Structure 1
Amino acid sequence: MGSDINRKAMARLHKAEVMIAGEQLRLRLHDGKLIKDRRYHLRTYPNCFVAQELINWLISYKEAPDRATAVCLMQHLMDHDIVHHVCDKRPMFKDAKLLYRFCQDDGTFPFNTEVNVFNHGQRLYEHLTTGRDSILQLREEQGVVYQRSFPGCQVIDWLLQNGEIDCRRQGLELCRTLLEHGIIQHVAKKHNFFDSGLLYQFCINFRRRRRLSELLNESEREKEEGVSAQAQEDGHDDSPFVLNTMPPQENCNGFLSVQLNRPLKMISSMSRSSLASLQIRSNGYVPPATLSSTPVVMCNPKSVLKRNVTCEELLSLCAPYIKKVLTVMGDAVGWGFVIRGMAPVYVQAVDPGSPAAAAGVKVRQFVCQVNGRSVLYLDYRQVSRLVMTGPCTVVLEVMEPIE
């Protein structure tokens, strides 16, 4: 019985690692322009990549030693519903001039209970690690010191203070769900989650750069050696299933991340899900902070507005603006747009491959409502918090200039 539970837990961890690695790969391919609209048999397929080109890229960037291994890596992503053939007619990944697409890019990613729990856990992780007074600290339990740990009662306090839950019982249920799905665990793996002083940790380092080859190797190892092999792997610092246990460096709040191969103008350690930064691939901005550990620097500080606009002007009956209601379904990374300003807040930038872009969010739109709540007279920090602490699906009422 215990062996079956361990197998299920490791399967969930591996699924989470594959999701993170797949998303990191998707963002890098967008940045490298391998993903783009392509025409085939008189039809244009948006956000696609050619299998042969991707295999060349994987070998070039040392993600795979040879073409056969690269095909196995991509097949692994296909088996986990990360990528698929554009017509869904080919269950096998082929090293050929065939078009494939990431499920995140065409909205076909299966948002089941497991994925929703994973997304919630990742958002919670980002909030806890990027906050000024993070509760993830060096703590001691039973004479053993644990890095980046937190008491159960304190995380429930944090959830209440930040509007994530309505009562402590709801927080207890949420944290137990995260524990059951392998997102968090008791530091000594001895207890379920309790609203007490017991210490817990995140099982997954969401910010560490994942190499596809290590995920494939881990999958093969599980098949060959079973749970016993994973027990050994759990004690290894380089395991994709454990947090980095090295002592934290001074003034460093993040984990090691993707190293970019070209200079960037501006860098941010925030995540795309924080709405305070994102990757504008065509202009050379940094990838989202789930992949970054660099100091915080405001990205694109110059306003995109052509002139200042007041709330009174937007509310005027003769104002040259049109009102729209947009529904943005967040993915595992976030929503993919940046807001700036105060009274009114406006859209500063939009990731072209994000859920926001797919929903119709555009630069220079003014945000009037978030999930039915008026935000016209709030600043961007307050609006960002409303979005981040709300549901994954965000309903925005915006006003955009009439062209």
Structure 2
Amino acid sequence: MERTSSCRRKTMARQHKAEVMIAGEQLRLRLHDGKLIKERRYHLRTYPNCFVAQELIDWLVSHKEAPDRPTAICLMQHLMDHDIVHHVCDKRPVFKDAKLLYRFRKDDGTFPFNTEVKIFMRGQRLYEHLIAGKDSILQLREEHGVAYQRSFPGCQLIDWLLQNGEAESRRQGLELCRALQEHGIIQHVSKKHNFFDSGLLYQFCINFRRRRRLSELIDESERDNKEGVTVQTHEDSHPESPFILRKNPPQEGNMGSSKNVKQVASGRRGSLNSLQLHSAAFTPLVQLSSSSPPVRCNPKSVLTRSFTCEELLAPGAPFIKKVLTVMGDALGWGFVVRGMAPCYVQAVDPGSPAAAAGVKVTHYISHINTVYTQGHKCY
């Protein structure tokens, strides 16, 4: 019994962490769109991608994300405690309603990409690819006389991972799926089984696309502290719950209409054990400034200007050729490339194998594992 309670406590903690990450990312994108995050100067020093705490509190209250200023401060402190935002100098662990500069860790590359975060981001990316596919495996299915929306057999998910290069073998796919279940991203539809390569039905526990309100973060945290993990709340069956299972009675044979949601484009991380960029990283001698715009979902190009293949290969061009070997882990390589003829590095996970190997944003790529890429679109 104690072991079950401990596992449930860990799962709920991970799910709450996932909700905080999603809410924080949604807030970050909204603040970028609202121009609250921008380059700012303080004491003769320039800080890129910052926001003023006092301005943000005003914004949260005016946009009804918080009923008053003390609640807004509490919400931002919650994001600070989960390493979503921080003071630009990391000298203030407490969020103050003052003219102080703060920054999202994802904007300055200090976000802690530990194993838990990597698995969460992997699960979110898989969810986006699965739900956006034309012949998605997320469908209305029945198990023991009960119909479940957006469910999938475990064996079909592993087949999909193999077909899309997300896993090299069924064993590796099984290990990934069990890691996703352990971290509260997928689960058996009736919560009775671990993940197996079989016909048992599973679902995503988290609706990554649902719009989060920041007030939910504190409400959920307080509820967990008051009720404890052994109490089953009614939130799991609420239509707006972040962990909704979308369970349907057997007589309902259709899934209903769904709103058209803009597809979030993302680079596909490979699953090979090693990746060698043969004479590939054309590094500009003049790097981008620190005030470059942040990497976002479906972001704009990070290049200050585009180069042609002829310019890259021309004698005397301001580029240096390098050979970088990336040893992939269970989550892939850790970088995103864009463009065609030539392709280049758009983003690099700070804690990934690619970052450890020296792959940097704005590197141009000519070969990947002896495959010439300058004439092909690279994903």
TM-score range, shorter chain: 0.7 to 0.9
The percentage of counterpart residues that share the same residue type is 64
Provide closer, same or farther for how the CA distance between residues 121 and 270 of structure 1 changes in structure 2, counting only shifts above 3 A: same
Instruction: Name the structure 2 match of 1:171.
Output: 173
Q: Aligned pair count?
A: 337
**TM superposition shift of 1:152:** 0.5
* 3-state SS, counterpart of residue 90 of structure 2: coil
Which of 218, 221, 224 in structure 1 is aligned with 2:220?
A: 218
SS in 2 for 1:101: strand
Q: Please say if residues 272 and 335 of structure 1, whose CA atoms lie closer than 8 Å, have aligned partners that are also in contact.
A: no
Note if 1:322 corresponds to 2:312.
no
1:183 corresponds to which residue?
185
Task: Map 1:2-401; keep pairs closer than 5 Å.
Answer: 2-227=4-229, 230-242=232-244, 248-250=255-257, 252=259, 254=261, 268-273=262-267, 288=297, 309=308, 313=310, 316-318=313-315, 320=317, 322-323=319-320, 339-341=338-340, 344-346=341-343, 361-362=361-362, 367-370=365-368, 372=369, 374-377=371-374, 379-380=376-377, 383-384=378-379
1:322 shift after superposition: 2.4
- Aligned residue for 1:90, secondary structure, equals coil
- Helix, strand or coil for the counterpart of 2:216? helix
**CA distance, structure 1, for counterparts of residue 306 and residue 92 of structure 2:** 48
Question: Quick one: distance in 2 between partners of 1:78 and 1:143?
Answer: 45
Cα distance in 2, alignment partners of residues 315 and 97 from structure 1: 46
SS in 2 for 1:94: coil
CA contact (8 A) 1:47 1:105 kept: yes
Distance 2:243 2:325 in 1: 34
SS across alignment from 2:233: helix
In the alignment, the residues of structure 2 paired with residue 248 and residue 100 of structure 1 have an alpha-carbon distance, to the nearest angstrom, of 43
User: Which residue of the partner structure matches residue 288 of structure 2?
Assistant: none
Q: Shift of residue 323 of structure 1?
A: 4.4
1:97-124, CA deviations, whole angstroms, 9 ceiling, x for partnerless residues?
1111111112211111211111111121
Secondary structure at the aligned position of 2:244 is classed as coil
- Cα displacement (A) at 1:182: 0.3
Cross-structure match for 1:296: none
**Please, what is the CA RMSD of the aligned residues?**
3.9
Which is further off, 31-40 or 192-201?
A: 31-40
**Match for 2:373: what amino acid?**
L
SS in 1 for 2:366: strand
Gaps of 5+ in 1: 255-267, 276-286, 290-298, 329-333, 385-403
Partner amino acid, structure 1, of 2:141: R
- Whether the 8 Å CA contact 1:272–1:336 is kept in 2: the answer is no
Quote the offset at 1:340 in angstroms. Answer: 3.8
Please give the alpha-carbon distance, in whole angstroms, between the structure 2 residues aligned to 1:44 and 1:94: 21
Q: Is the contact between residue 123 and residue 273 of structure 1 (CA under 8 Å) also seen in structure 2?
A: no
Q: CA deviation at 1:231?
A: 3.3
Give the Cα separation in 2 of the matches to 1:369 and 1:56: 50
Give the whole-Å Cα distance in 1 for the aligned partners of 2:338 and 2:166: 21
CA contact (8 A) 2:365 2:374 kept: no
Q: Is the 8 A contact 1:81 1:103 kept in 2?
A: yes
Rounded to whole Å, the distance in 2 between the matches of 1:366 and 1:110 is 26
User: How many Å apart are 1:241 and its aligned residue?
Assistant: 2.5
Shift in CA distance, 249/314, structure 1 to aligned 2, threshold 3 Å: farther
Note closer, same or farther for the CA distance 1:375–1:20 as it changes in structure 2 (3 Å cut).
farther
- The letter of the residue matching 2:195 is F
Flag the 1:3–1:316 CA change in 2: closer, same or farther, 3 A: closer
SS of alignment partner, residue 147 of structure 1:
strand
Decide whether the 8 Å contact of 1:346 with 1:366 is kept in 2: yes
* Counterpart contact for 1:85–1:101, Cα < 8 Å: yes
Question: Larger RCO: Structure 1 or Structure 2 (Cα < 8 Å, ≥ 6 residues apart)?
Answer: 2
Note the C-alpha offset of 1:339: 3.1
- When normalised by structure 2's length, the TM-score is 0.77
Instruction: Assess if the C-alpha contact under 8 Å between 1:129 and 1:253 holds in 2.
Output: no
1:1-35 CA deviation, whole Å, 9 max, x = no partner? 22222121111000001001101111111111111
- Seen in structure 2, the aligned counterparts of structure 1 residues 327 and 217 have a Cα distance that, compared at 3 Å, is farther
